[in-house]
Amino acid sequence: MSRNLDVGMAQMGPTARHATRGEVVKRMMELLHEAAERKVELLVYPELALTTFFPRWHIEDEEEMLSFFEEEMPSEATQPLFDEAARLGIGFCLGYAEVLTDDEGVTHRYNTQILVERDGSQVARFRKIHIPGHADNQEWRPFQHLERYYFESGPGGFGVWRAFGGIVGMAICNDRRWSETYRVMGLQGAELILIGYNTPYFYAADPQQNALQNFHNHVVMQAGAYQNGCWVVGVAKAGTEEGVENIAQSVIVAPSGQIVCQTITDGDELAVARIDLDFCRFYKENVFNFDLYRVPEHYRIISETRGAILPPEPE
Amino acid sequence: MSRNLDVGMAQMGPTARHATRGEVVKRMMELLHEAAERKVELLVYPELALTTFFPRWHIEDEEEMLSFFEEEMPSEATQPLFDEAARLGIGFCLGYAEVLTDDEGVTHRYNTQILVERDGSQVARFRKIHIPGHADNQEWRPFQHLERYYFESGPGGFGVWRAFGGIVGMAICNDRRWSETYRVMGLQGAELILIGYNTPYFYAADPQQNALQNFHNHVVMQAGAYQNGCWVVGVAKAGTEEGVENIAQSVIVAPSGQIVCQTITDGDELAVARIDLDFCRFYKENVFNFDLYRVPEHYRIISETRGAILPPEPE
């Protein structure tokens, strides 16, 4: 029994602040064509794949800010990518900054990923839940991490969708550090979780963590895959972008927690693995048989509490 | 700023089926005395430290079954260990099989860990929540894993206690594989989680996992420590016990997820590390600032659901 899927990681190197969408899409098309040669069925691009990681700057001018966002997807610039992927029969997942106006005329900005099937049909949009960094300009930092200035947390939570012959979920960057991310999707039967990320090497809040960035990147995805019996694909925007060094090491992690595929450069790079979605059952039906072994009555604090509640101080 | 604590792992090698409590306590006393020489303040013994791992047999005779359980703790056989530890000023954590009769005359059997302070005062008892294995004798297995025949799930959930200058929690063996274990304690401010385990190398339900046993052992504790900004101490009953090989590699994991101390044999072995409980704050106050970054409204399924709920099948 096997449900094989050929998955490609379309890791991307740095994108300059003033790069045009056309320039970026051209690189994405090159990765797409290499993926076609290698018979990839699902190609995963990183978070905010279409632009530089602009949350490193505090941009007050609205027009300039919105120049990094997409009002529609596909947009004029990305339509050729959507068309070519459909022509080649390759599905894909793509991260971008999304701006939309709701029915009540309120504008929302999200850090979004779209999932597109091999026939070009749009499966789902996921909006990042765990927004890291800060909302105020902090001049002591060598560069900003202003995701909480630019993005709202996605209102839709973590969903899964039947696609690519299995059950697929999505998460974005910082979402991957939170065990709840994987569990909420695992409890919906996720067999494959697609994650794009931009992760600077330098962590201003505690630079002693710098050298551990990639270890942390991997350990959370490995534990998340193992503990939920699912495949996890994590794809970086990597390399030194506008003076800021980002980690690379994009990986495909098996339900065993093992890394089965990893990029080796910090630039545009395709890495491919054949994954068997049926392999999930060895974990979902045994050591992580949720229905048999979970004890949700003792988990209530997880959904009822936000911050930690410490035991009382001794008198 | 630092709150240093010298922690010892009292890994234990195999214990025969017919070993007496006296023989086992003698080995535990030797580890205790070595710990005293090395100025250990908190010594962690494994799960079911006082006996062999008896759930590998289906024992129907009640008297024989109960011979592996303790009706009181300290018991007559363990009193000398409690006394000597208090005399030496060493606190400890010790796993054992507990039988008790409640106020309504109902008998309960738990897989229990007791935490004792340096002055000999009993801090807490924790009863294992996630009971692995099976409840029925399965003769196709080369050996049984009958924890669900011998033990109820602990009714008390995962607590934490102010002890050893910090906030301490406990878990037992299979509890460590579940992300909820760490998060429920992390949400109560846990700075140090003490875990004993007995983990056979051979996993009958899916033997392709055998070679990954120790990788899995470590990755779950490393992710749990990192994602909750706490220290995790995992101590094995190791070696080949009554013909069954058990994994060893007891570890102390820092809030960074790094293994800072590891045993190197599969027998009785003391390994010691100085841990700084204040190191937790680098993680609890930054990348895992729960109050700032968690989004519990999207975590409800974790406590409301036991087994997975799959999306509807396509028509």
Residue of A215, A216, A301 to mutate when probing chain B, most B C-beta within 10 A: A301
Within its chain, how far is the Cα of B206 from the centroid?
23
- Indicate yes or no: CB of A298 within 8 angstroms of CB of B162: no
- Indicate yes or no: CB of A300 within 8 angstroms of CB of B295: no
Indicate the DSSP class of residue A144: -
Per-window interface: B 276-315 vs A, CB < 8 A: 282, 284, 286-288, 290-311, 313-314
Residue of A128, A227, A292 to mutate when probing chain B, most B C-beta within 10 A: A227
- Residue-wise pLDDT tens digits, A273-297: 999 999 999 999 999 999 999 999 9
CB B123 within 8 A of CB B115: yes
Please state the ipTM of this predicted complex: 0.97
Per-window interface: B 25-84 vs A, CB < 8 A: none
- Rounded to the nearest 5°, which phi and psi values hold at A151? -125, 140
Q: What is the number of helices (H) and of strands (E) in chain A?
A: 9, 14
Residue of B164, B179, B222 to mutate when probing chain A, most A C-beta within 10 A: B179
pLDDT the model gives residue A1: 67
Element (H, E) at B273: strand B269-276
Q: What's chain B's length in residues?
A: 315
| Residues in chain B closer than 8 A to A212 (CB atoms) | 256-258
Q: Residue B315 pLDDT > 80, yes or no?
A: no
Q: What is the DSSP string of B160-192?
A: EEEETTEEEEEEEGGGGG-HHHHHHHHTTT-SE
Q: Residue B281 pLDDT > 70, yes or no?
A: yes
Taking the C-alpha atoms of residue B92 and residue B84, their distance in angstroms, rounded to an integer, is 11
- Residue-wise pLDDT tens digits, A72-90: 999 999 999 999 999 999 9
Name which of A158, A134, A48, A146 is nearest A96 in CA terms: A48
Within its chain, how far is the Cα of B20 from the centroid?
22
- Indicate yes or no: CB of B220 within 8 angstroms of CB of A209: no
User: First and final CA of chain B: distance in angstroms?
Assistant: 62
**A128 included as an active-site residue:** yes
**B173 included as an active-site residue:** yes
- Indicate yes or no: CB of A189 within 8 angstroms of CB of B130: no
Q: Which chain A residue's Cα is nearest to B157?
A: A298
pLDDT the model gives residue B215: 98
Q: What's chain A's length in residues?
A: 315
- Indicate yes or no: CB of A219 within 8 angstroms of CB of B219: yes
Catalytic residue among A41, A128, A147, A261: A128
Q: Which of A223, A286, A311 lies nearest to residue B223, judging by beta carbons?
A: A223
- Indicate yes or no: CB of B256 within 8 angstroms of CB of A212: yes
| Residues in chain B closer than 8 A to A189 (CB atoms) | 308-311
Element (H, E) at B202: none
Q: Which chain A residue's Cα is nearest to B191?
A: A310
Taking the C-alpha atoms of residue A167 and residue B313, their distance in angstroms, rounded to an integer, is 10
Taking the C-alpha atoms of residue A251 and residue A261, their distance in angstroms, rounded to an integer, is 6
Q: What is the DSSP string of A293-310?
A: H--GGG-HHHHH-SS--P
| Residues in chain B closer than 8 A to A297 (CB atoms) | 157, 303
pLDDT the model gives residue B48: 98
Residues 6+ apart with CB under 8 A from B277: B3, B4, B5, B165, B166, B191, B192, B231
Q: Where does A25-164 show beta strands of DSSP type E?
A: 42-44, 91-101, 107-116, 122-127, 160-163
Tokens 């050929």 belong to A6
Q: Please report the sign of the dihedral spanned by the C-alpha atoms of residue A200, residue A202, residue A208, residue A210.
A: positive
Tokens 């062999």 belong to B52
Exposed, middle or buried: residue B311 (CB in 10 Å: 0-12, 13-18, 19+)?
Answer: middle
Average per-residue pLDDT for chain A = 97
pLDDT the model gives residue B246: 98
Using 50, 70 and 90 to split pLDDT, how confident is the model at A315?
A: confident
Q: Residue B230 pLDDT > 90, yes or no?
A: yes
- Indicate yes or no: CB of B296 within 8 angstroms of CB of A287: no
Taking the C-alpha atoms of residue A163 and residue A199, their distance in angstroms, rounded to an integer, is 28
The pTM (predicted TM-score) of the whole model is 0.98
Q: Please give the single-letter amino acid code of residue B133.
A: G
Name which of A29, A121, A43 is nearest A80 in CA terms: A29
Taking the C-alpha atoms of residue A52 and residue A144, their distance in angstroms, rounded to an integer, is 13
- Angstrom distances, CA of residue B261 to CA of A42, A76, B11, B234: 41, 56, 12, 10
| Residues in chain A closer than 8 A to B219 (CB atoms) | 219, 222-223, 226, 257
Distance from CA of A33 to the nearest CA of B (A): 31
CB B297 within 8 A of CB B25: no
Q: Which of B162, B304, B310 lies nearest to residue A311, judging by beta carbons?
A: B162
**B128 included as an active-site residue:** yes
What's the CA dihedral at B70, B71, B72, B78 to 10 degrees?
A: -30
Name which of A216, A177, A213 is nearest A195 in CA terms: A177
Residues 6+ apart with CB under 8 A from A232: A176, A182, A192, A193, A195, A221, A222, A224, A225, A251, A252, A253
Distance from CA of B130 to the nearest CA of A (A): 6
- Kindly state the percentage of chain B with pLDDT values over 70: 100
Taking the C-alpha atoms of residue A80 and residue A84, their distance in angstroms, rounded to an integer, is 6
Query: Span A53-70, mean pLDDT?
Result: 98
User: First and final CA of chain A: distance in angstroms?
Assistant: 62
Q: Please give the single-letter amino acid code of residue A169.
A: G
Across the A:B interface, residue pairs with CB atoms under 8 Å apart total 214
Tokens 């960057």 belong to A173
Distance from CA of A14 to the nearest CA of B (A): 24
Tokens 């990348």 belong to B287
- Indicate yes or no: CB of A227 within 8 angstroms of CB of B302: no
Using 50, 70 and 90 to split pLDDT, how confident is the model at A249?
A: very high
- Residue-wise pLDDT tens digits, B35-85: 999 999 999 999 999 999 999 999 999 999 999 999 999 999 999 999 999
pLDDT the model gives residue B1: 67
- Indicate yes or no: CB of B257 within 8 angstroms of CB of A212: yes
CB A227 within 8 A of CB B179: yes
- Kindly state the percentage of chain A with pLDDT values over 90: 98
Taking the C-alpha atoms of residue B14 and residue B56, their distance in angstroms, rounded to an integer, is 13
- Angstrom distances, CA of residue A137 to CA of A59, A147, B78: 10, 11, 60
Q: Give the count of beta carbons closer than 10 Å to the beta carbon of residue B312.
A: 6
- Kindly state the percentage of chain B with pLDDT values over 90: 98
Q: Which chain A residue's Cα is nearest to B135?
A: A292
Catalytic residue among B128, B191, B230, B284: B128
Structure token digits, residue B254: 């820092």
- Residue-wise pLDDT tens digits, A119-169: 999 999 999 999 999 999 999 999 999 999 999 999 999 999 999 999 999
Q: Which of A178, A286, A295 lies nearest to residue B130, judging by beta carbons?
A: A295
Residues 6+ apart with CB under 8 A from A151: A55, A97, A109, A110, A111, A128, A131
β-pair type (A4-11, A269-276) = antiparallel
pLDDT the model gives residue B314: 80
